[in-house]
Amino acid sequence: MYTAKGTLGPQPGIENYLPLVRRAASHMIGRLPPNVEMDDLIQAGVLGLMDAMQRYEQGHGAQFETFAMQRVRGAMLDELRGTDWVPRSVRKNQREIAGAVQLLEHRLKRAPTDGEIARHLGIALEDYHEMLVDVHGAQLVYADDYEAGEGDMHFLDRHVAPDEQADPAARLADRRFREALVAAIENLPEREQYVMSMYYEHDMNLKEIAAVLGVTESRVCQLHSQAVARLRARLKP
């Protein structure tokens, strides 16, 4: 691979980093509905990897693998953002669940159970569990706007290797959000805390989490979706 100056770069060929793309796609696919194809994510990720290999400059403090993973994930998110991968009915169900959780937590002063949420929604518990499976993954890019406006930098250009001294207000807002998120996670029901920790902190997939908890993958999916709904409700302005 050659650098922008025309000199031969030290990085290995792209084939050495293809496992990184597949790993990112495998982890992301678990949060997405069944209509999203793994191959589509991998294809987008490879384009992100190629972009990373062209843009990466040594000596800026970030390892290439870290920089590349951010580009790969960003390319996958951009691909998802540009396609209609979540039906409107799923968005509607997601909002209804989050709204029910928010109202019940305010009323009960505690985390509502599955049954209480189902009764509030006026549906059977089994139907509520099916809703949780349907909305699983819909939260991936729903909360954030990854699209850049006219003349704006790309999302990753704004977030990769930022100048931490440039915007103290942004740093303060980010710290407050992180603290609020940590507090919200700590107030989740114990089993949902386990799911979030294993999935996001330990990078375990649904099958592995199900084996640890002694439940089905479908139940892990439900717990994850419900945990996200609780977090949305608690962090909503």
8: helix, strand or coil? strand
Which residue do the tokens 């099916």 mark?
130
Does the model's pTM come out above 0.85? no
For residues 41 and 78, give the distance between their C-alpha atoms in angstroms, rounded to a whole number: 10
Measured CA to CA in angstroms, residue 42 lies from 20, 26, 54, 77, 145 at distances of 10, 9, 18, 11, 22
Q: Round to whole Å and give the CA distance between 213 and 225.
A: 16
pLDDT above 90 covers a percentage of the chain that reads 22
* Contact residues for 215 (Cβ-Cβ < 8 A; gap 6+): none
88-144+164-235: CATH topology is: Arc Repressor Mutant, subunit A (1.10.10)
Please provide the CATH number assigned to the domain covering 14-81.
1.10.1740.10
Q: What is the pLDDT of residues 114-135, one digit of tens each?
A: 999 999 999 999 999 988 887 8
Contact by Cβ (8 Å): 93, 121: no
pLDDT above 80: residue 195: yes
Q: How confident is the model at residue 70 (pLDDT cuts 50, 70, 90)?
A: confident
65: left (phi over 0), alpha (psi -120 to 50) or beta: alpha
Question: Domain segments of the chain: what residues?
Answer: 14-81, 88-144+164-235
Residue 138 has pLDDT above 80, yes or no: no
Mean pLDDT of 180-204: 87
